[in-house]
Copies of this chain bind each other. A is one copy, B any other.
């Protein structure tokens, strides 16, 4: 059995979020291991202390040690933080799972569903690993700003108090305030769902509307997120927290996020989605997530007009004007009626 220090952490994933989370944890003089598949990314992080493809211009701290050796990296880690695109999550989770012992904690920071199964990432972790100690980290965490050291905040949710507390401790003394919670389902639904709404927010921005229009859209999107989440067993309050509206609002406000950029370019360029996707630096989680949510909502009989509109934009080639007209012609009734008890 390998001797591990409780503070030893491994980040799995050398993209935007993995690199940023590794950097913020490594900042107060703590060593953080980061596994990436590509040798070029690992060499660049260890050598030049940069990851130009994903975080252009950012200088990474010396304590961040990248590796391609998954065996050694997993063996030495007390806590594994998975930060991967949702559609490659299962494959890497399986590889990590093959190397885990039962006492290790696995927290993920991936915002999406597995399309074919509509499974959440924590469900995949349960299927592909032996650990029970699973958590999810989410919130308004735009990678570039994390690396820049700006104050930020997130939520770690787990059924295990130990997972929450030990994850919180990883960020002690850093610029990221990590709150604790228990609602794993709500946190995962929120993180996936926000990318759908952010595409719509990007489109509305590109159409030249102001903040009234945008935040009407985002607030109604939050309601749809809550409807889906509650139908899946989430606590409705989670959607009012950092992983819910915090992440949703930041993603919709920021011109840096992939989903917002995609929504904007749909309006500005009027080109097929495939061509726009090819120019984005990271996987656009909104594309598979929208398909997955639309299908699941249909199965559940849930009416989610904004999801339907974004599905029209991304997967049916509909024009943004027609989608907006659909949304504006829905009769107004009681607000939040599906969530209210009275």
Contact = CB atoms under 8 A, between A and B. Distances in A.
A11 to B, nearest CB: 18
A18 interface: no
9 contacts: A144-B210, A148-B210, A151-B328, A153-B216, A178-B332, A179-B333, A211-B250, A211-B256, A216-B246
Nearest to A218: B249
Contacts of A139: 216
A339 B146 CA distance: 28
Interface string A155-178: 100000000000010000000011
A150 B236 contact: no
A333 B332 CA distance: 39
Interface string A234-247: 01110111100111
A213 interface: yes
A141 to B, nearest CB: 6
Number of copies: 2
Nearest to A153: B216
Interface of A: 139-142, 144-146, 148, 150-153, 155, 168, 177-182, 209-216, 218-220, 222-223, 226, 235-237, 239-242, 245-247, 249-250, 253-254, 256, 324, 328, 332-336, 339-340, 342
A212 B148 CA distance: 11
Given A153-B216, A240-B336, A340-B237, A254 B180 contact: no
Nearest to A334: B180
Contact of A342 (B182, B218, B324): B182
A247 B153 CA distance: 22
Nearest to A236: B237
B334 A250 contact: no
B212 A145 contact: yes
Contact of A216 (B180, B215, B242, B342): B242
The CB with the most chain B CB atoms within 10 A, among A139, A146, A215, is that of: A215
A140 B245 contact: no
B177 A336 contact: no
Nearest to A209: B150
B210 A177 contact: no
A241 B180 contact: no
A269 to B, nearest CB: 23
A222 B240 contact: yes
A311 B139 CA distance: 27
A215 B253 contact: yes
A215 B151 contact: no
Contacts of A140: 211-212, 215-216, 219
A242 B340 contact: no
A216 B253 CA distance: 13
Nearest to A180: B334
Across the A-B interface, the 4 shortest Cβ-Cβ residue pairs: A219-B246, A179-B335, A153-B216, A152-B212
Contacts of A218: 246, 249
Nearest to A181: B335
B249 A219 contact: yes
A150 B213 contact: yes
